[in-house]
Amino acid sequence: MSLLEPLPSSASASQLYAALVDALPDPILVVAGSRRDDLTGWRFILANAAARELLRLTADEGRLLSAVRDPAVLGAVDKALFDVADAESAYETTGAQSRSLRVRARPLGIGPDGLRLALLTYHDETEVRRVERTRVDFLANASHELRTPLASLSGFIETLRGHARDDPAAREKFLGIMQAQADRMARLIADLTSLSRIELDEHVPPRGVVDLGMVVREVVEAAAPLGAQRGVKLDWRSCGAPPTLVRGERDQIVQVVQNLLDNAIKYSPDGASVRVEMQGGLSELAAAAGHDGVPRLSLVAPDPSQETYVALRFMDLGPGIARQNLPRLSERFYRVDGQKSGARSGTGLGLAIVKHIMNRHRGGLVVASAEGEGSAFTVYFPMAGDPEGVVKAS
Ligand SMILES: Nc1ncnc2c1ncn2[C@@H]1O[C@H](COP(=O)(O)OP(=O)(O)O)[C@@H](O)[C@H]1O
Ligand SMILES: [Mg+2]
């Protein structure tokens, strides 16, 4: 019986019980067998809806071998039926969407017809495994990223103690490199710490109200010297009055603006300009992003229940990003090949940080870019208060 068929109002206890078993979200099977060596005689005498779907069964009873073929799972059944002991086993399903399943077998005693009975329950561990793998990869990547500058530091210390000892010019040069490597390690640690803090409260909505235009002004002014070093001009004329209020946490919004501006400057050719544009009161996100003909991809999709947004866009005339690399941009430590070293080297964590902050703010992140065409990164923040009131609130 499925829950889709309503129970009669006079449902008996056994009808209720059957409906309950069928409605359980985890697959369960009841298995019966009389002799240990008669595998083909083992049967399942109950399979709930979840089990029928998982094991692709057309009936709720039948030969056990038609439902369960994994030898380790059959071993667990054997143990539960004939050793009368709990047993468990894990296996992966094959097919396009492979899943990790843990199966527990537990003796149920002897049935009315003298058959031994056992209960099989299935637990889907796919998500747990995925999270575990992500964590292991993350640790491996983080240690690798720290090991590189550390190895370089150790190497230069050795050189300074050895043949460069009495060579003041070489010493100066090496100390400069060492400083840069130490700075790099400090940046990595700062980004890692910040990422883990952001992830920790990613599910707690931010409370404050922030004037986005003010944040842009502050961050752009602070970045002016960085741009000036390479003759990069920062054009942010459209980001001024009236105040544009968004819901969010100020420090995190500053981090978003800093990271996107930093990338735009870093990837700009010397002497080019970076444009920062702000546009409020948007309800139609699609119309707002990207220039025509350039591939665009949404890396964070905004919460559709929000009403109006402010878009903040950073445009540069840098090398652009090939279409196939767009989906990976916000992965931790991902950097486009060929940009991993030299003046443009970064931690590869900036866009991952931006992504998590935008998730928390129920905002959006869209990139539009093509090789040789520059890049435009746009973030969308939900506007604070009622959309009419925002502008009038000044
Ligand atoms: N404005 C941009 N122009 C070209 N490539 C970019 C731009 N922004 C980001 N990228 C690419 O995305 C990668 C990830 O960016 P990010 O997470 O900020 O790391 P980082 O800046 O530390 O390298 C960069 O390494 C770079 O390859
Ligand atoms: Mg960056």
Question: pLDDT band at residue 307, thresholds of 50, 70 and 90?
Answer: confident
Could you tell me if the CB of 316 is within 6 A of ligand 1? Answer: yes
12-31: average pLDDT = 92
pLDDT in tens, 202-232: 999 999 999 999 999 999 999 999 999 999 9
Question: pLDDT band at residue 274, thresholds of 50, 70 and 90?
Answer: very high
Q: Where in the chain is the domain with CATH 3.30.565.10?
A: 205-392
State how far the Cα of 130 lies from the Cα of 148, in Å rounded to an integer.
27
Which residue's CA is the nearest one to ligand 1's atom 27?
A: 336
Contacts of 132 (CB under 8 A, 6+ apart): none
pTM of the predicted protein model: 0.78
Residue in the block written with tokens 């060492």: 178
16-22: average pLDDT = 91
Residue 319: name the closest of 341, 336, 332, 334 by CA. 336
Could you tell me if the CB of 330 is within 6 A of ligand 1? Answer: no
| Whether pLDDT at 394 is above 50 | no
More confident residue, 337 or 292: 337
Q: Where in the chain is the domain with CATH 1.10.287.130?
A: 125-200
For the domain 205-392, what is the CATH code? 3.30.565.10
Residue 61: name the closest of 78, 75, 42 by CA. 42
Question: pLDDT band at residue 340, thresholds of 50, 70 and 90?
Answer: low
Percentage of the chain modeled with pLDDT above 70: 91
| Whether pLDDT at 286 is above 60 | no
According to CATH, the topology of domain 13-124 is Beta-Lactamase (3.30.450)
274-295: average pLDDT = 74
Classify each residue of 289-316 as buried b or exposed e, where b means 16 or more C-beta atoms within 10 Å of its C-beta: bbeeebbbbbbbebeeebebbbbbbbbb
Could you tell me if the CB of 375 is within 6 A of ligand 1? Answer: yes
- The Cα angle at residue 28 between residues 26 and 31, in degrees rounded to 5: 170
pLDDT in tens, 60-106: 899 999 999 999 999 999 999 999 999 999 999 888 888 999 999 99
pLDDT of residue 2: 47
Cβ–Cβ under 8 Å, residues 185 and 146: yes
With the most atoms of ligand 1 within 8 angstroms of its CB, the residue from 188, 332, 351 to mutate is 351
Question: Which architecture does CATH list for 125-200?
Answer: Orthogonal Bundle (1.10)
Q: Where in the chain is the domain with CATH 3.30.450.20?
A: 13-124
